[in-house]
Chains A and B, each alone.
Chain A
């Protein structure tokens, strides 16, 4: 049974048919990426997976069930950002405690057991120093860690991440993807990354779906990352080429392989 099974999904927003018969199957335990240009329907497809978007046609099943409150309890979702008003004083501890029945208490009463549960179910995220801070005062990278923790507290079988490093600086991005890779390796959950970041896709994903209204192509990153596939997805000629990063200290490429970059040619 696949983690995600999307069949012939069509969605029209106003006059535009944003999804024109999207079908894809994501096997369990994979870390996959959904790429595509702006307006290609990535966010709309994600909203369909979360039951936030009405389908004009087609069907979506997650973990073998139709999308609904029951299956959503088994899903983790990391949004692009939290559009928090600074006047909202919700602390990290209060926010995370909302995810689990055993930490969710009336009027945010705090016990030592609450912190223990939070830290035990979301280890390795550096939450210890963040729990007492207001959510709206966190940096982009800290907020992403908190959002990952929130998802993991629900003990998800499937983790959906929407442009998770938007608003995060470059070192923060690197840390974030390492964290996700670690979570994926440690817990064996299915991870779906919706991303613009093609370099990340090449390094981290085991399978790539390129979307532009329909799934234009799919495959292992090295198969999809070629000029023809990317032209189908992005509508422009894109030539992948290898960067050689020179490290002044040792003159070698960064660990984890050479990142890929794309040189658009119209």
Chain B
């Protein structure tokens, strides 16, 4: 076994990848189906204010303030969607820009923490502690279990909300529940991939899987596998190549997407 795999920081990073890669991918199947990719981007950017507020309040590890602020923004998004006639992307653009601006202003009040910002913007999974690993693993298990338990109503909800209502699904509860799970997964993945790249872990595995499958069952299975391979593969490659881990994970997801696309093209246009 390569020596670097015995290092505790690498083991923690691999735990994070093992837990979050499949869970984020699983959520991503429904995120992409429901046109919510920009939603996860908005939630992740809101984390900047959570980080800044956490620093200001004296937290060394701002995981809890990040989670709380991301949830606040997610709920604001749902509330505005229900109570106003604004389009979803308008609401998300408003909340994204306001929360980033607020985060930068709060950070400017404490310039001594400015250097730590990179860790949150681009992710630094090699620096996480065991408490981060515990939070992320717990959240990933809970998210995956709940999505799998509610797979049927979620599928129906993604096909047509009104039809889901008529068929007996509790549409509002499902919508709020899904948003809470997505927010939980995104905000806890920020330490691994960073605010700027965390959406790639949610969107790229289901996008890669989609071009190869024709059923939801196959889509879910392949997405979970690609989420696992991409996250673990990225962490493993980043160390010997001496590359930043978050961007390497995203590039591995990007490569998996390109390979899936090529395979699907070959399947649909086989050479004579």
**Residues of chain A having any CB pair with chain B under 8 Å:** 14, 47, 50-52, 69, 72-73, 75, 77, 79, 82-85, 87-91, 93-95, 98-99, 104, 106-110, 132-135, 150, 154
With CB as the reference atom, state the residue of chain B lying closest to A86: B210
A77 touches B215 (CB 8 A): no
Q: How far is the CB of A117 from chain B (nearest CB, A)?
A: 16
B168 touches A94 (CB 8 A): no
Q: How far is the CB of A81 from chain B (nearest CB, A)?
A: 9
Q: Could you tell me the dominant secondary structure of chain A's interface residues?
A: loop
A90 touches B215 (CB 8 A): yes
- The one of B32, B166, B217, B220 that contacts A50, using a Cβ cutoff of 8 Å: B166
Q: A89-B218, A91-B215 given as contacts; is B167 within 8 A of A98 (CB)?
A: yes
Q: How far is the CB of B8 from chain A (nearest CB, A)?
A: 36
Q: CA separation between A132 and B215, bound complex, in Å?
A: 8
- The one of A87, A95, A110, A154 that contacts B159, using a Cβ cutoff of 8 Å: A95
User: Could you say which of B44-52, B125-133, B148-156 contacts chain A?
Assistant: B148-156
A91 touches B216 (CB 8 A): yes
Q: List 20 A-B contacts (CB under 8 A).
A: A72-B167, A83-B160, A85-B35, A87-B32, A87-B207, A88-B32, A88-B159, A89-B210, A89-B214, A90-B155, A90-B216, A91-B215, A91-B216, A93-B215, A94-B216, A94-B217, A98-B152, A104-B152, A106-B151, A133-B214
Q: CA separation between A47 and B32, bound complex, in Å?
A: 27
A75 touches B166 (CB 8 A): yes
Residue total for B at the interface (Cβ-Cβ under 8 A):
30
- The one of A47, A50, A87, A95 that contacts B33, using a Cβ cutoff of 8 Å: A87
A52 touches B34 (CB 8 A): no
Q: CA separation between A73 and B166, bound complex, in Å?
A: 7
A82 touches B159 (CB 8 A): yes
**Residue B165 interfacial (CB < 8 Å):** yes
Q: CA separation between A52 and B165, bound complex, in Å?
A: 8
A108 touches B159 (CB 8 A): no
With CB as the reference atom, state the residue of chain B lying closest to A51: B165
Q: How far is the CB of B177 from chain A (nearest CB, A)?
A: 18
**Residues of chain B having any CB pair with chain A under 8 Å:** 32-35, 85, 148, 151-152, 155-156, 158-160, 162-163, 165-168, 206-207, 210, 213-220
Q: A89-B214, A104-B152, A132-B214 given as contacts; is B159 within 8 A of A84 (CB)?
A: yes
B166 touches A77 (CB 8 A): yes
Given contacts A90-B155, A95-B159, 4 further A-B contacts (CB under 8 A): A47-B162, A72-B168, A77-B162, A98-B156
Q: How far is the CB of B24 from chain A (nearest CB, A)?
A: 16
A104 surroundings in chain B (CB, below 8 A)? 152
Q: Could you tell me the dominant secondary structure of chain B's interface residues?
A: helix
Q: How far is the CB of A230 from chain B (nearest CB, A)?
A: 29
Q: A94-B155, A98-B156, A134-B215 given as contacts; is B33 within 8 A of A85 (CB)?
A: yes
Q: CA separation between A72 and B168, bound complex, in Å?
A: 7
Q: How far is the CB of B257 from chain A (nearest CB, A)?
A: 12
A109 surroundings in chain B (CB, below 8 A)? 217
Give the 3 A-B CB pairs with smallest separation, nearest first.
A88-B33, A89-B219, A108-B217
Q: How far is the CB of A133 from chain B (nearest CB, A)?
A: 7
Q: CA separation between A94 and B155, bound complex, in Å?
A: 9
Q: CA separation between A90 and B218, bound complex, in Å?
A: 9
Q: How far is the CB of B30 from chain A (nearest CB, A)?
A: 8
A133 surroundings in chain B (CB, below 8 A)? 214
